[in-house]
């Protein structure tokens, strides 16, 4: 086979890059060893959010009396829950397959290995091997779960997020190692399904890359729901004793241990850079990821890399954006850079936590005059109606009044964050937000209130 652009990996990065390359006039082949959609569709965004939706509804049913409903005997049907998750994945997979072929992209199912900088061999899923010659290459191989080098990390009941997604039984007790996005989402999910959950995090806060004040508020919510959170704590070992796991960890110099049926290793993911013949090219790896410039180009001019395999954000929408940029640059003039000024990041806990731009602490290191505007969502009418709480927090550069960041803990935060993503992209000022009429009653009025608060003009604040 021969193609203008070969794409290795059919996740949100790879299949979008191939579609766009064809739109720009090139021929494109995607090689995928499993199914189109990648981690996002099969082990990531979609299955986790499907399960979280069910557990959120279940939680609300258990607390229905607070909103004037009498609901007796709500219970979980794990089989039905898994069936629904699989149906959603299958429906989306069929949709992606149909779109990709309708756009003229050729999909080859098999495992690709680069033989040279212009040729790949593919072991097809039927065992046959084929060769593909290409002019240009986009690497979109994704990432795999990381682990930590401690005794017991390989015990059978120490699981990854991939395993946790298909559990057929809720463990009585679950220890989650790592309080990042995957750790807290699974922590709340399992807790709401009935597991006794303990999260152990090495940093001094869960979600350490997000706004510290709002992370602490979310931690307090999770603790109130019955999750134990240990921060500044380092897991030292996991032992198997009489059918249970014993997780030993160090917290402030004291050794503690927790018993659990399962341990979820949620210490992040690492770029997949091995196993596909990268060593047969001159492509450089830096800090465990494929090194690229702002144009998504590696040090070998006709080879690009996108998404998780390049490290950094490791988010589906970033892979998607990388894909559009790489496809444009690889098929034409190399003009379009990746701009990371406004990358939203969302945590789908309840309440949701979403962030875009700089946190207060990052902004204070880069700008000499910043101001913070905050709104307490507990006094926002719509938040009260939906029986939740939270905070909206703006970070503003007072020299220019430009919005530097927005951080939201509250219902629908993952939808609302895009107002600030647009503001950042357009270099908008906080006055632009204040001048924008926000509907009533909406949770988004909290954004207006936080914007007003930057200069002390919040209306519903004593």
| Binding annotation | 49, 141-143, 178-185, 201, 268, 308, 314-317
Q: Which tokens hold the place of 140?
A: 């979109």
Select 146 or 216, whichever has its Cβ closest to ligand FAD. Answer: 146
Residues 277-316 contacting ligand FAD, CB under 6 A: 307-308, 314-316
Q: What is the dihedral of CA 240, 243, 248, 254, to 10 degrees?
A: -130
SS3 of 343, please? coil
**Shortest Cβ distance from residue 319 to ligand FAD (Å)?**
4
Report d(CA 423, CA 416) in Å as an integer: 12
Q: Which tokens hold the place of 202?
A: 């090495």
Q: Which tokens hold the place of 433?
A: 């937000």
Which of 22, 28, 29, 39 binds ligand FAD (CB under 6 A)? It is: 39
Q: Which tokens hold the place of 397?
A: 């550069």
Select 222 or 314, whichever has its Cβ closest to ligand FAD. Answer: 314
Annotated binding residues for NAD(+): 178-185, 201, 268
Q: Which tokens hold the place of 39?
A: 């981690």
Which of 40, 96, 263, 330 binds ligand FAD (CB under 6 A)? It is: 40
Report d(CA 139, CA 323) in Å as an integer: 10
Residue 6: which region, alpha, beta or left (left: phi > 0; alpha: psi -120 to 50)?
beta
Q: What is the dihedral of CA 213, 214, 219, 225, to 10 degrees?
A: 140
Q: Does 121 bind ligand FAD (CB under 6 A)?
A: no
Which of 14, 178, 357, 373 binds ligand FAD (CB under 6 A)? It is: 14
Report d(CA 2, CA 134) in Å as an integer: 6
Which of 18, 28, 45, 159 binds ligand FAD (CB under 6 A)? It is: 45
Which of 5, 6, 7, 11 binds ligand FAD (CB under 6 A)? It is: 11
Residue 166: which region, alpha, beta or left (left: phi > 0; alpha: psi -120 to 50)?
alpha
Binding-residue pattern over the window 197 to 236 for ligand FAD, x denoting contact by CB under 6 A: ----------------------------------------
Q: Does 344 bind ligand FAD (CB under 6 A)?
A: no
Cβ-contact 325, 336 below 8 angstroms: yes
**Shortest Cβ distance from residue 458 to ligand FAD (Å)?**
31
The stretch among 40-48, 95-103, 226-234, 279-287 that binds ligand FAD (CB under 6 A) is: 40-48
Residues 142-171 contacting ligand FAD, CB under 6 A: 142-143, 161
Catalytic residue status for 440: yes
Report the DSSP beta bridge partners of residue 199.
176, 229
Q: Does 112 bind ligand FAD (CB under 6 A)?
A: yes
Select 373 or 410, whichever has its Cβ closest to ligand FAD. Answer: 410
Which of 3, 10, 89, 391 binds ligand FAD (CB under 6 A)? It is: 10
With b for 16 or more beta-carbon neighbours within 10 A and e for fewer, the 418-453 pattern comes to ebbbebbeeebbbebbbeeebeeebbbbbbbbbbbb
Report d(CA 71, CA 413) in Å as an integer: 28
Which of 176, 222, 260, 319 binds ligand FAD (CB under 6 A)? It is: 319
Which of 317, 418, 438, 461 binds ligand FAD (CB under 6 A)? It is: 317
Select 245 or 290, whichever has its Cβ closest to ligand FAD. Answer: 290
Choose among 304, 306, 329, 305: nearest CA to 316.
306
SS3 of 398, please? coil
Cβ-contact 427, 357 below 8 angstroms: no
Q: Does 111 bind ligand FAD (CB under 6 A)?
A: yes
Select 272 or 370, whichever has its Cβ closest to ligand FAD. Answer: 272
Binding-residue pattern over the window 68 to 107 for ligand FAD, x denoting contact by CB under 6 A: ----------------------------------------
Report d(CA 445, CA 453) in Å as an integer: 12
Q: Does 187 bind ligand FAD (CB under 6 A)?
A: no
Catalytic residues: 440
Binding site for ligand FAD (CB under 6 A): 8-14, 31-34, 38-40, 43-45, 48, 111-112, 140-143, 161, 182, 272, 276, 307-308, 314-317, 319
């Amino acid at each position: 086979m021969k193609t203008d652009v070969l794409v290795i990996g059919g996740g949100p990065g790879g299949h979008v890059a191939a579609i766009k390359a064809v739109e720009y006039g090139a021929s494109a082949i995607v090689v995928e060893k499993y199914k189109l959609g990648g981690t996002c569709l099969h082990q990531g965004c979609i299955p986790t959010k499907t399960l979280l939706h069910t557990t959120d509804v279940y939680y609300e049913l258990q607390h229905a009396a607070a909103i004037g409903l009498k609901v007796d005997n709500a219970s979980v049907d794990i089989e039905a829950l898994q069936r629904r998750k699989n149906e959603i994945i299958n429906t989306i997979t069929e949709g992606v397959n149909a779109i990709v072929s309708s756009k003229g992209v050729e999909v080859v199912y098999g495992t690709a290995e680069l033989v040279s900088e212009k040729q790949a061999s593919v072991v097809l899923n039927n065992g046959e091997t084929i060769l593909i010659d290409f002019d240009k290459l986009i690497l979109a191989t994704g990432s795999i779960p990381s682990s930590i080098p401690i005794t017991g990390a390989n015990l059978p009941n120490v699981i990854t997020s991939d395993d946790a997604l298909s559990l057929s039984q809720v463990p009585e007790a679950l220890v989650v190692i790592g309080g990042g996005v995957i750790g807290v989402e699974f922590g709340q999910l399992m807790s709401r399904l009935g597991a006794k959950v303990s999260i152990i995090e090495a940093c001094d806060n869960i979600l350490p890359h997000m706004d510290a004040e709002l992370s602490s508020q979310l931690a307090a919510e999770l603790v109130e729901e019955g999750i134990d959170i240990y921060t500044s704590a380092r897991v030292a070992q996991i032992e198997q004793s009489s059918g249970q796991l014993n997780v030993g960890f160090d917290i402030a110099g004291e050794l503690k241990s927790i018993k659990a049926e399962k341990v979820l290793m949620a210490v992040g993911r690492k770029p997949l850079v091995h196993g596909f013949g990268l060593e047969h090219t001159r492509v450089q790896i830096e800090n465990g990821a494929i090194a690229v410039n702002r144009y998504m180009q590696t040090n070998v001019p006709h080879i690009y890399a996108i998404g998780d395999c390049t490290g950094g954000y490791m988010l589906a929408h970033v892979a998607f954006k990388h894909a559009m940029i790489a496809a444009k640059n690889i098929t034409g003039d190399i003009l379009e850079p990746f701009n990371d000024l406004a990358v939203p990041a969302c945590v789908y806990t309840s309440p949701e936590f979403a962030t875009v731009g700089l946190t207060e602490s990052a902004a204070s290191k880069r700008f000499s005059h910043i101001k913070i505007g905050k709104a307490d969502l507990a006094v926002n009418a719509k938040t009260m109606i939906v029986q939740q709480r939270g905070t909206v927090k703006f970070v503003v550069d007072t020299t220019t009044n430009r919005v530097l960041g927005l951080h939201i803990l509250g219902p629908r935060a993952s939808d609302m964050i895009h107002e600030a993503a647009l503001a950042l992209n357009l270099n908008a000022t906080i006055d632009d937000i204040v001048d924008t009429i926000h509907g009533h009653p909406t949770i988004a009025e909290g954004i207006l209130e936080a914007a007003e608060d930057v200069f002390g003009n919040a209306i519903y604040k004593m």
